[in-house]
Amino acid sequence: MRHTLPLAPQFYVTAPQPCPYLQGRMERKLFTGLHGDSASTLNDALSKQGFRRSQNVLYRPACADCAACISARIRVADFRPSRSQRKARNRNAGLRRQPARAWATDEQYDLFRRYLDSRHADGGMADMDVFEFAAMIEETPVSSRVVEYRQCDDDTDRLTAVCLTDLLDDGLSLVYSFFEPKAARASIGTHMILDHIEIAHAAGLPYVYLGYWVPGSPKMAYKARFSALEIHHRGEWRELGDPAAYSSTTHPLAVEPIAEQVSRLRLPDTLPTTVGSR
């Protein structure tokens, strides 16, 4: 029988399933629950160690023979937009930012469905219904916002993009974003990241967390184009440098055993941790 304190974070590992980023590979995740008064503190601590939030769960890839999913963040004070990023910002100058509490609307879901049907029709979220969408937005035990971007002119007030954003103690974490498929050519995804850099700068927050960068995945290549990009690699944050230097992350020897990964986690208190499987 295993005994732990009720507030101790307990870590589990998911069963393998097909990787959404690298063809022919299987993914697993190391995860723990977020609950109670310590949720924000745990979210802050583990986000600094490569974890991401999904509703009331924190997770990090823990694949058996691959370590290609690498957490990435932008150092706000040192960021300088490239020429193409400045063009993206100018192309979307007509969008109005509208932050709101984490509450789902029918308008958001309609946009979300158009986005999935156009860009991720065969992805893991393709069958998400309105209730699951509402859960993704609203079931958050930490400080979160929905940042809407609306096209507003004399006769139009149209929702064009949405980003679910967590407020961490050291930055903003872009949990999930989606946008009008017809606006893809305007680089609206890049615009949302640039705008979050501006929000973080104004709030005095040092980082914008982008989720995972995956060497070899065309879907994730855009993240490496942002300056002042840091990645969480081998237990520490470092400058990205040459993206080609991380091709070996898909080698089995690049992976640490799960028990070692858990033992090295730096938690916000001294409560014990446990690891199991699910």
Kindly give the pairing relationship between strand 29-33 and strand 10-13: antiparallel
d(CA 36, CA 18): 32
Q: What pLDDT, on the 0 to 100 scale, is given for residue 4?
A: 42
Q: What pLDDT, on the 0 to 100 scale, is given for residue 270?
A: 47
Q: What pLDDT, on the 0 to 100 scale, is given for residue 278?
A: 55
Q: How confident is the model at residue 273 (pLDDT cuts 50, 70, 90)?
A: low
Say which amino acid occupies 103.
W
Class for the domain spanning 73-238: alpha beta
d(CA 153, CA 85): 24
Could you give phi then psi for residue 245, rounded to 5 degrees? -70, -10
Tell me how far apart the 2 most distant CA atoms of the chain are, in Å: 67
Q: Which of 102-106, 154-158, 177-181, 260-264 has the lowest mean pLDDT?
A: 154-158
Q: Quick check: pTM over 0.75? A: yes
* DSSP code at position 265: -
Q: Where are the alpha helices (DSSP H) in the chain?
A: 39-47, 83-91, 106-119, 130-138, 188-203, 258-263
Q: What is the mean pLDDT of residues 263-277?
A: 68
d(CA 196, CA 189): 11
Nearest to 62 by CA among 8, 105, 13, 17: 13
Kindly give the pairing relationship between strand 10-13 and strand 274-277: parallel
Please say if the pLDDT value at position 263 is more than 90. Answer: no
Q: How confident is the model at residue 253 (pLDDT cuts 50, 70, 90)?
A: low
Say which amino acid occupies 196.
H
Please say if the pLDDT value at position 225 is more than 60. Answer: yes
Condensed to tens digits (0 to 9), the pLDDT of residues 46-79 reads 999 999 999 999 999 999 888 889 999 999 999 9
| Cβ 268 vs Cβ 39: under 8 Å | no
